[in-house]
A = this chain, B = another copy of it.
């Protein structure tokens, strides 16, 4: 089942079911008004939406309409939790190597994760607004899961059973604000502005065999200013699977329905795959020639992030954003 949230002037938008080919949508009116409502009462609500999705995919839904990603908010326009991992250790190794630092041994057992702001997410085609390009504006292409309720102290394997939906993420990062916040040790507030999500959230069965071992075994494409800069493989090099990330957070507390857990920048050892964030490109340049050559993003730059299923069909629809200056 594929689901989206349409802009309707409200803070949480309007839940719709979307056809597998992303061509048609249908309001979920009478079943659930919002994505959070679905997640709060998954066992009761989701079978009814699955029925509607089947009717829509069969072309038999009477009030179907054309699906337009430009009308989408983030699937969860605001959420009660957003935690992001850095589960591709190649990314961590690259960035550290570029600044001559070692990766601590513990990083191979203990996932690096941060608690993000979740009160104000961007829709897939919303402008990303910043006051200054001096901050080092960068995209980060990722995948994320949305969980149901998770018990405190859950194991990585049972944590996987809590995965309700998958989403596409652009975890906007302000690279030049990161060093100072890292040094304080308290995590990111200013360096991680509003995060954007792909148009459609999907249940794991939509991925077929590509959802395996708590990982998404598909290719993630990033196009910066309409040039393909990354075709990274999200599956095999994810050092911690989503169950491990969820269990890490749940060690000392419960997670409640609608918690979003991200993978971190998808990254591969083979540089031929390109990159899912500019910081990595600059790290490679630094390792190869002593200094970065590629600049971070400028006002007017665009970023397009998309992932296709094994059938070639866009799985989540595309994130297509433009970097824009804050109005004075």
Question: Which positions in A face B, CB cutoff 8 Å?
Answer: 11, 40, 78-81, 83, 86, 106, 110, 112-120, 129-131, 135, 152-153, 174, 177, 180-191, 193-194, 248-249, 251-259, 326
Contact = CB atoms under 8 A, between A and B. Distances in A.
Given A110-B180, A118-B118, 16 more contacts: A11-B256, A115-B117, A117-B249, A119-B258, A130-B252, A131-B152, A131-B153, A153-B326, A181-B185, A182-B185, A185-B187, A187-B187, A189-B249, A190-B249, A190-B251, A191-B252
A259 B119 contact: yes
A183 B186 contact: no
A132 to B, nearest CB: 9
* Copy count, this protein chain: 2
Contacts of A181: 185
Contacts of A11: 40, 256-257
Chain A interface helix/strand/loop/mixed: loop
Contact of A194 (B116, B187, B254): B254
B80 A186 contact: no
A79 B82 CA distance: 12
Contacts of A183: 185
Contact of A188 (B115, B257, B326): B115
B113 A189 contact: yes
Contacts of A251: 190
